[in-house]
Amino acid sequence: MVGASRTNMKEVASRAGVAMSSVSRVLSDHPDVSPTMRARVLAAVEELGYHPNMLARSLRAGQTMSIGFVVGDISNPLLAEITLGAETALREAGYSLLLTNSENQPGRDAEHIQLLQRRRVDGLLLSLASETDADTRAALAGLEQPFVLIDRELPEQPEMWAGAALSDHAAGMAAAVHHLLELGHRRIGLILGQPMRFSRERRRGLEHAFAEQRLPPSYIVLEGHLNPEHGRQATAHLLDDAEPATAIVAGGNQLLIGVLRELERRELAPGRDVSLVTCDEIPLSELFRPPIAVIQRDNRDLGRRAAELLLGAISGAEPRSDVLKTTFVPRASCAPPAVRI
Amino acid sequence: MVGASRTNMKEVASRAGVAMSSVSRVLSDHPDVSPTMRARVLAAVEELGYHPNMLARSLRAGQTMSIGFVVGDISNPLLAEITLGAETALREAGYSLLLTNSENQPGRDAEHIQLLQRRRVDGLLLSLASETDADTRAALAGLEQPFVLIDRELPEQPEMWAGAALSDHAAGMAAAVHHLLELGHRRIGLILGQPMRFSRERRRGLEHAFAEQRLPPSYIVLEGHLNPEHGRQATAHLLDDAEPATAIVAGGNQLLIGVLRELERRELAPGRDVSLVTCDEIPLSELFRPPIAVIQRDNRDLGRRAAELLLGAISGAEPRSDVLKTTFVPRASCAPPAVRI
DNA sequence: TTGAAAGCGCTAACAC
DNA sequence: GTGTTAGCGCTTTCAA
């Protein structure tokens, strides 16, 4: 194999002394090809170090075998695992992944959706920065290829909406809060991110757990952004309240970082002074002293499911959404409320 | 804008009552276009909800404005941050990123390089699973577009090698070991991953620090795989040695997890029973009790630099490698050796 | 079973 | 300033 520059099918054909169409047939495993022909063509391919041009193929075929992925921030371990699951499933099916980071800016979501549309991806996987942004909704409405949402819910269903891979946040949250209530906590603080599906569902799980026990709603919910600073401020707020929270639930790993920083600043220890639960496992959380209780989910599987839903839609299946379970894992960061001095 | 199905430039042209080439000129901001023409074309584009087909454009132009990225495992926080940095820089320059996970299998590296070549990416960013794999080297030798390595060094330089973005691991490691030596440690264990650049450089830093102090080489280096299990086994080995290590350096976040598990199992506390240093920050490491000393680097910047080197090469610059600094951050996990009982 | 030719959607000469 | 035309590299009828 001699890597000549930019060999094309025509050159392979002339080298093998056959027609271009024959080369094409050999390379796409067409049934009606004689062994002689196959051998001659493959020899020429080898000699010239020929790599077929998928661009030309895609243009002709009308499909690119590529999927666009719009993600808020790939450096978030949660999204990175989802991406891994999706990429693996897509690759197994012969698709490639075009990745774009929106930096959690709704405006970028819309831009990227349009870019991917120009690149003629066969479908899109979307972890949107906003469920309600007008530009994003317009971009989605104009889409001509199916798209699947990852843990998001839209107010309406655009034409090409092909479903969503969702996590059952409410169930995991209800289990966590149930556990805290059993330990004797009544003043529970829940720190959430933006008003999107995962926030709504978590709040619902909390409310459900209180209602189930016929307890008055003595919880506090603080919405904000999914970043450490909101986690820190919310924690301060919860602890400085007239009736301070005895247990805190951080709705995401970025929030957890802020919570831990604030507890550290006040020299409060999780599991001793305040009980603590977080959402979505983060590398060292189980190795923490004490280990931090967590509402887990299988992120890789979430990405894989989303990819499968999309592949289904591409081959004509009806839109469908899957809800994946979340599991509460109690750990030593949860204990009975500290005795107030 | 009415999202008709698969509008093309021809339809826009006829709708606007002009020639296709005029549409093309308007859309690519050609200087010689009358305001009237521009307005008519843009109106037609708007009415038809037309999105230019980048595939056709790329086929014609001979460039795809896309970059292939081969990464071992995007779910590793280190790689995820590098990816973010690279994607951001590339996007700013108008390029899109095609992401492939090799699952740290050298064989997949070679496959993915060829796939990306068929997709006619304008260049490749490679975080290879092996620097010496024969298939990978053959694939690299056959490449017709420039590629930049991320923290890797090849035994030879293939024709299209355009440089590398490297971290100065040796410097950070030397500083860390120097610190440990000052604290009085002599038996220092270094746990490394596969025999690649980052491992070689870290070992070199360790050796240098000992040599500088004119100390005999009383360290132990254990190479293996970059996963928790090797971290765990190596830790056990270091602690069970006839002359046990009093300080351990974990060469990566996956190794650190194994180290912490083994210390936990033996009820040994970092900073009290054993000193501990890790390489590459991981989300909760600074919030650990005690906080874990770390040899840091700017991962995002590493990705950005790699992207910039590649963009440079695409526009004809000579191959060039950049070495980025690493910084040792001492924390409470490092203390004088415990008194042996 | 194989070859010739049309065309996927676009850009860049080249005329006018 | 605008239109006509020839491909970019491939697949796919349609003939032979």
Within 13 Å of residue A252, how many CA atoms lie on the same side as its CB? 23
Length of chain B: 341
Q: How far is CA A134 from CA A69, A139, A155, A203, B41, in A?
A: 20, 9, 11, 25, 26
pLDDT digits (tens, 9 = 90+) for B170-222: 999 999 999 999 999 999 999 999 999 999 999 999 999 999 999 999 999 99
The residue assigned the tokens 């075009």 is A98
Distance CA B68, CA A249 (A): 40
State the pLDDT at residue A3.
39
**pLDDT score recorded for residue A5:** 61
For position B5, what pLDDT does the model report? Answer: 61
C-alpha–C-alpha distance, residues A76 and B77, integer Å = 8
Q: How far apart are CA A233 and CA A255, in angstroms?
A: 10
- Residue A70 backbone zone (phi > 0: left; psi -120 to 50: alpha; other: beta): beta
Nearest to B54 among A49, A119, A144 (CB): A119
The DSSP element (H or E) to which A48 belongs, if any, is helix A35-48
CA distances to A19, A207, B104, B118 from B75, in Å: 46, 33, 12, 26
Terminal CA-CA length for chain A: 80
Protein-proximal positions, strand C, CB < 7 A = 1-5, 7-13
Torsion angles phi and psi, residue B85, rounded to 5: -60, -45
B103: closest CA of chain A, how far (Å): 9
Please determine, for residue A282, whether its predicted confidence score (pLDDT) is greater than 80. yes
Cα gap B134→B109, rounded to integer Å? 11
- Prediction pTM value: 0.95
SS (H, E, C) chain B: CCCCCCCCHHHHHHHHCCCHHHHHHHHCCCCCCCHHHHHHHHHHHHHHCCCCCHHHHHHHHCCCCEEEEEECCCCCHHHHHHHHHHHHHHHHCCCEEEEEECCCCHHHHHHHHHHHHHCCCCEEEECCCCCCCHHHHHHHHCCCCCEEEECCCCCCCCCCEEEEEEECHHHHHHHHHHHHHHHCCCCEEEECCCCCHHHHHHHHHHHHHHHHCCCCCCCEEECCCCCHHHHHHHHHHHHHCCCCCCEEEECCHHHHHHHHHHHHHCCCCECCCEEEEEECCCCCHHHCCCCCEEEECCHHHHHHHHHHHHHHHHCCCCCEEEEECCEEECCCCCCCCCCCC
CB within 8 Å of chain A, chain B residues 106-125:
114-115, 117-120
Q: Tell the residue number behind the tokens 């290590």, with chain if given.
A: B245
Q: Which of B259, B146, B250, B117 is nearest to B188 (CA)?
A: B250
Alpha-carbon Rg for chain A, nearest whole angstrom, is 26
| Residue at minimum CA to C1' distance from nucleotide D5 | B21
pLDDT at A141 over 70: yes
Closest CA to A268 of A293, A238, A294, A230: A238
List, for chain B, all residue ranges whose pLDDT scores fall below the cut of 50. Answer: 1-4, 341
As a whole number of Å, the CA-based R_g of chain B is: 26
- Determine the 3-state secondary structure of A310 from DSSP: helix
Q: Is B83 touching A (CB cutoff 8 A)?
A: yes
Cβ distance B98 to B124 under 8 Å?
no
- Could you tell me which of B327, B311, B294 has the C-alpha nearest to residue B165? B311
pLDDT per residue as tens digits for the range A50-62:
999 999 999 999 9
Q: How far is the CA of A65 from the C1' of C7 (A)?
A: 21
B116 neighbors B71 (Cβ within 8 angstroms): no
* Gap between the Cα atoms of B326 and B330, Å rounded: 13
Nucleotide nearest to B19 (CA to C1'): D3
Q: Would you say residue A274 has pLDDT above 50?
A: yes
Q: How far is the CA of A17 from the C1' of C15 (A)?
A: 38
Give the closest of A1, A80, A257 to B80, CB-based: A80
Name the nucleotide with the smallest C1'–CA separation from A62: C8
Q: Which residue has the tokens 């050159």?
A: A11
CA of B17 to C1' of C3 (A): 39
Side-chain half-sphere exposure of B176, counting CA atoms within 13 A:
37
- Do residues A301 and A275 lie in contact, with contact meaning Cβ atoms separated by under 8 Å? no
Decide the pairing of beta strands B327-329 and B293-296. antiparallel
Mean pLDDT of A72-86: 96
- Taking the C-alpha atoms of residue A59 and residue B59, their distance in angstroms, rounded to an integer, is 8
For residues B252 and B172, is the Cβ–Cβ distance under 8 A? Answer: no
Number of Cβ within a 10 Å radius of residue B331: 18
Beta carbons of B283 and A257 less than 8 Å apart: yes
Dihedral sign, CA of B98, B101, B107, B109? positive
Is the CA virtual torsion A192, A283, A165, A210 positive or negative? negative
Which residue is closest to A2 within chain B, CA to CA? B142
In contact, B256 and B250? CB cutoff 8 Å: yes
Q: What is the DSSP letter of A162?
A: E
Please enumerate in sequence order all residues whose Cβ is within 8 A of that of A83, keeping only pairs 6 or more positions apart, or say none: A69, A71, A74, A97, A99, A303, B74, B75, B99
Look up residue B220 and give its two tokens.
Answer: 């132990």
Question: Are the CB atoms for A121 and A66 separated by under 8 Å?
Answer: yes
Smallest Cβ–Cβ distance between B84 and the set A73, A84, A114 belongs to A73
The pLDDT confidence band at residue A286, using thresholds 50, 70 and 90, is confident
Spatial CA neighbour of B230 closest among B199, B194, B265, B279: B194
Q: Which of residues 132 through 151 in chain A touch B, CB cutoff 8 A?
A: 141-144
Residues, CB < 7 Å to strand C: A 18-22, 25, 32-34, 36-37, 56, 59-60, 62; B 6, 8-10, 20-21, 24, 27-28, 52-53, 56-57, 59-61
Question: Would you say A222 and A237 are in contact if contact means Cβ atoms under 8 Å apart?
Answer: yes
DSSP symbol at A159: T
